[in-house]
Amino acid sequence: MGAPVLMIPGPIELSPRVLEAAATAPPSHLAPSFVEAYGRSLERMRHVWRAADDSQPMVVAGGGTLAMEMAAWNLLDPGDRVLVVSTGYFSERMAEMLRRAGADVHEIVALPGESPSPHAIGAALSDAHAAGQPFRAVFATHVDTSTGVRVDARAIAAHAREYGALMVFDAVCATGGERLDMAAWGADVVLTASQKALGGPPGLALLVASPDALEARARLRRLPPLALDWHAWTPIWRAYEERRPAYFSTPATSLVLALDAALDEIVSPSAVDAPADRAMATRFAQHERTADAFRAAWAALGLSLVPARPELAANTLSAIRYPEGVDARLVGAIGQRGVVVAGGLHPAIRDQYFRVGHMGHVISREPDLLRTVRAVGEALGELGHEAPVEEAAAAFLDRYAAP
C-alpha cells in the first residue's frame, strides 16, 4: 500500500525539499547561513501576505495558538471592546483568549457552516460607533478549520477600516492557500502557523503586523507577558532582516530552515522567471482548482458539505457531512486504505462530518489526490453507502486537469 498520505488540515505532507531542510542538524542561530535563511524568510513573508513594506513580519517558535495569543496581548488594553466574528471552534478559542486578556468581547456568531454577513458585521460596528462605544478591533477566522467556512475577508476588513477598528485575521488554515492581499484589504494582523497552507512542519507561529498594529502596541498601558511582547522581539526580527544575528530567545533553527524552503517554493514557481506576484496567483489558482475537483468528487459520491453555500467553501480543506447511515467509523475505514483524514471538530456537529485537507505540496501529487477520492468512496461502500468510486475519480480528474 505504501506510506499513508496525510490529508488532514495540518500538519500536511511536506515537499522533499522542505523535508530535507527540516532534517538538517540544528545550526547555530548565529551561523551566517541561518542568518540569511531567517532574514530571507521574514522578507518573503511580506510577499506571501502581500503586506506593505513598512509592515513587520514575525516568526516565533510555537503554533497558531501562540500567534493568536500574541495578537490578543499586543493590541489591546483591559476593557477594550472587541468584536469577534465567530465561524466555529477557532473563533471561539480567540474569543476565550481575548476574554482572558481582559478585553470586553462581543461576538457575532454564525450557525455551523454559515458566516455572519459582512453587512451584519458592518451594522454591529456602526451601532457601536453611533452609541459612542466603538470597537477597538475586529477578530475573524479567515478559514475556520472546524467548518471549512471561509469568510469574506476583504469585505469584513473594509467595514473594520470604515469604523477605525483594527482588523485581525486568524489565517492559520488559509495563508499560502487562500487569496490574501493584506495591504490592499487594510488588515492589521494576519497570523498563521508553519504546518498548514504554508507547507512547513509544525512548530512556528507567524504573524505580519501593519504599522497601525505596531502603533497599538506602542500605546498600550498594560505590558504584555515578556515572551509575547512584540517590543522584545521586533529588534531581533529587524536585525535578521539586516542580516545580523541577535538574541532574545533561541529561534527554532531547523524549523526556520524548513520555513525558508517552504516560502521559496511558494514565491519561486517552477516556471522560470515568473514574477513573484504571478507565483502567488498561480498558487491560489492551484488550490482553487484542487478544491473544486474534490467538491466535484464529493458530489459524485453523493456527499454534501458543511459550508452552507458554495462561496463559503474553503479551498484548503473540505468539511464533508456523513451520508445517511454512516458515522465516524468512516474516518478509520478511510485510514485503512492508506489515507489519513480528520474527524469533526465543531462541538455542535462533531459527529456529523469529517475533514479532508488539501493544501500545500500534496495538491500537485495527482496520484495521492485520486487515492484520497477512491479511499473515501470505497470506505463509504464498506459502511453500506454504495458510491460510484470510479465516477467520482473521473469527476475529480475532469476538474483537476482542466486548463
Nearer to ligand PLP, 274 or 340 (CB): 340
Tell me which of 173, 312, 331, 393 binds ligand PLP, using CB under 6 A. 173
With contacts defined by CB under 6 A, name the span among 168-176, 246-254, 260-268, 306-314 that binds ligand PLP.
168-176
Query: In the complex, what is the shortest distance from the CB of residue 198 to ligand PLP, in angstroms, rounded to a whole number?
Result: 11
CB closer to ligand PLP out of 74 and 141: 141
Encoded one letter per residue, x for contact with ligand PLP by CB under 6 A and - for no contact, window 124-143 reads -----------------x--
Name the percent of the chain in helix, strand, coil, to the closest 5.
45, 15, 40
Q: How far apart are CA 208 and CA 210, in angstroms?
A: 7
The reply to whether 170 sits near ligand PLP by the rule CB under 6 A is yes
Which residue from 4, 26, 63, 122 is in contact with ligand PLP, where contact means CB under 6 A? 63
Choose the stretch contacting ligand PLP; rule: CB under 6 A; options: 15-23, 50-58, 62-70, 224-232: 62-70
Nearer to ligand PLP, 38 or 169 (CB): 169
Residue 90 within binding range of ligand PLP, rule CB under 6 A: yes
Query: Is the Cα torsion angle 28, 30, 34, 37 positive or negative in sign?
Result: positive
- Which residue of the chain is nearest ligand PLP when measured via CB? 64
- Secondary structure class of 118 (helix, strand, coil): helix
Q: Which stretches within 116-188 are classed as H helix?
A: 118-130, 153-162, 182-185
Interacting residue with ligand PLP among 168, 172, 342, 379 (CB under 6 A): 172
Give the position of cell 514575525. 58
* Pairwise CA distance, residues 298 & 395, whole Å: 9
Q: Nearest distance from residue 64's CB to ligand PLP, in Å?
A: 3
Q: Which stretch binds ligand PLP (CB under 6 A): 105-113, 166-174, 218-226, 384-392?
A: 166-174
d(CA 367, CA 372) in angstroms, rounded, equals: 9
DSSP-derived secondary structure letter, 149:
E
Closest CA to 295 of 304, 286, 287: 304
343 binds ligand PLP (CB under 6 A): no
Question: From CA 205, how far away is CA 95, in angstroms rounded?
Answer: 19
Determine how β-strand 56-61 pairs with β-strand 204-209.
antiparallel
254 binds ligand PLP (CB under 6 A): no
In the 8-state DSSP scheme, what is residue 386?
-
The contact mask relative to ligand PLP for 4-43 (x = CB under 6 A, - = no) is: ------x---------------------------------
Pick between residue 10 and residue 39 the one whose CB is nearest to ligand PLP. Answer: 10
What's the closest the beta carbon of residue 252 comes to ligand PLP, in angstroms?
13
Which span sits near ligand PLP by CB under 6 A: 36-44, 57-65, 257-265, 335-343? 57-65
Backbone angles phi, psi at 85, to 5 degrees: -85, 110
Measure the CA–CA gap between 260 and 256, rounded to whole angstroms.
6
End-to-end CA distance of the chain: 31
Closest CA to 299 of 187, 392, 196: 392
Q: Report the residue number, 174 or 279, with the smaller CB distance to ligand PLP.
A: 174
Quick check: 64 binds ligand PLP (CB under 6 A)? yes
* # residues contacting ligand PLP (CB under 6 A): 12
> Does the protein bind ligand PLP through residue 65 (CB under 6 A)?
yes
Rounded CA separation 74/166 (Å): 12
Q: Which of 87, 145, 253, 372 binds ligand PLP (CB under 6 A)?
A: 145
Rg of the chain's alpha carbons, rounded to an integer? Answer: 21
Q: Which is closer to ligand PLP, CB of 64 or CB of 224? A: 64
Residue type for 74, please? Answer: N
C-alpha span between 265 and 354 (Å, rounded): 29
3-state class (DSSP) for residue 104: strand
The residue ranges that bind ligand PLP (CB under 6 A) are 10, 63-65, 90, 141, 144-145, 170, 172-173, 193
